[in-house]
Amino acid sequence: MSHNYSPQTATFPVVRMRRLRYNKLIRELVQENAVTADKLIYPLFIRQGKNIRTPINSMPGVFQLSIDELVREVEELRTLGIGGILLFGIPDVKDSCGSDATSDNGIIAQAVRAAKDAAQNKLLVITDLCFCEYTDHGHCGILTNRTGQTDVDNDATLKIIAEQALVHARAGADLIAPSGMIDGMIGAIRTALDMNQFEHLPMMSYAAKYASGFYGPFREAAESTPQFGDRRSYQMDPAAAAQQALREVELDLAEGADIVMVKPAMVYLDIMRMVREHFPNVPLAAYNVSGEYSMIKAAAERGWIDESRIVRETLTAIHRAGASIIITYWAKDIAKNVL
């Protein structure tokens, strides 16, 4: 039986989408969304002590490291072509205002100096700037009960945020990543840096950070679980209008952010796409967070999914949504071609 198809009007079989799929090399030739190691950031959790490499139960393959172990890790990472590391400090002693975070001899300052020496300018040393890991109450700043409800005092916290930023800068951080979602934090940090001759130092703001249930495993890793309440009074409501994220990004850029971030990544791809479309010339990062990591790890351990395939697909989706920088606990495995 013959079929009379007109090339001028028909789309089949003149147009066959499978022509660009039948050969692996052709698929690679036309790919537009390739995840490469130099665009990945690897989070690391650092604590005091020696020869410490403590596994995180809820995050297989992730550890709390002492500084000597951090140095060994960085020495390996610098050969892999990873874009950088993101450091989280865990002090031995915590107090109500996170004093260790504002000390030039605190855990994060020590970690930055050691990592910079080991990195030899082959990868970026990035610091998370927040107080939840350093306070005994697990919240992201100084507390107040002025409204009859205990909450983070926004403006009082800005003062210690600026101090913390200078600690990171003096230690040699290449990039500072403020994560507390405190109103005005980017402006406070930018002012402090500029007034102390660190005007060259860029910031990657956690601009659209949601109060998410996907952070649970991280809180075990960073020992930062709130001792009461939650962080919904300062992190974004997952059910809020998407335009709120655009406003947060806009404000942070106006205050001096150089890179903006959406966090978490997997279930906020719509937000990522909106940010990319509204701010096309601004570098956009995404944090592929602990809960996303742990879910995939757990399913893979049970043989329900192919971890390598799922991870590649997940990171590609994040990149396709608009993120040019991805913070992920799989960065090392991707760089080593283990996945």
Q: How far apart are CA 134 and CA 106, in angstroms?
A: 10
pLDDT tens digits along 42-78: 999 999 999 999 999 999 999 999 999 999 999 999 9
What confidence score (pLDDT) does residue 191 get? 97
Q: How confident is the model at residue 11 (pLDDT cuts 50, 70, 90)?
A: low
- What is the share, in percent, of the chain residues with pLDDT greater than 70? 96
pLDDT over 90 (residue 3): no
Tell me which of 3.30.470.20, 3.40.50.12170, 3.20.20.70, 3.50.30.60 is the CATH number of domain 35-335. 3.20.20.70
Q: Torsion over CA of 239, 241, 245 and 251, rounded to 10 degrees?
A: -130
Entry pTM: 0.93
Residue 286 and residue 339: Cα distance in Å, rounded?
A: 20
Q: Which residues pair with 53 in a beta bridge?
A: 65
> Who's near 134: CB < 8 A, 6+ residues apart?
89, 91, 94, 98, 99, 100, 101, 106
* pLDDT score recorded for residue 182: 94
Average pLDDT over every residue of 166-173: 98
The phi and psi torsions of 47 (rounded to 5 degrees) equal: -135, 170
Q: Known catalytic residues? A: 209, 263
Mean pLDDT for all residues in the chain: 93
pLDDT digits (tens, 9 = 90+) for 276-316: 999 999 999 999 999 999 999 999 999 999 999 999 999 99
CA separation for the pair 316, 314 (Å, rounded) = 5
- Whole-number pLDDT of residue 28: 85
pLDDT in tens, 205-230: 999 999 999 999 999 999 999 888 78
- What are the pLDDT digits (tens) for 97-112? 999 999 999 999 999 9
pLDDT at 6: 56
> Quick one: how far is CA 163 from the chain centroid?
22
In sequence order, which residues have a C-beta less than 8 Å from that of residue 58 and are 6 or more positions away?
216, 217, 220, 221, 290, 294
Question: Largest Cα–Cα distance in the chain?
Answer: 83
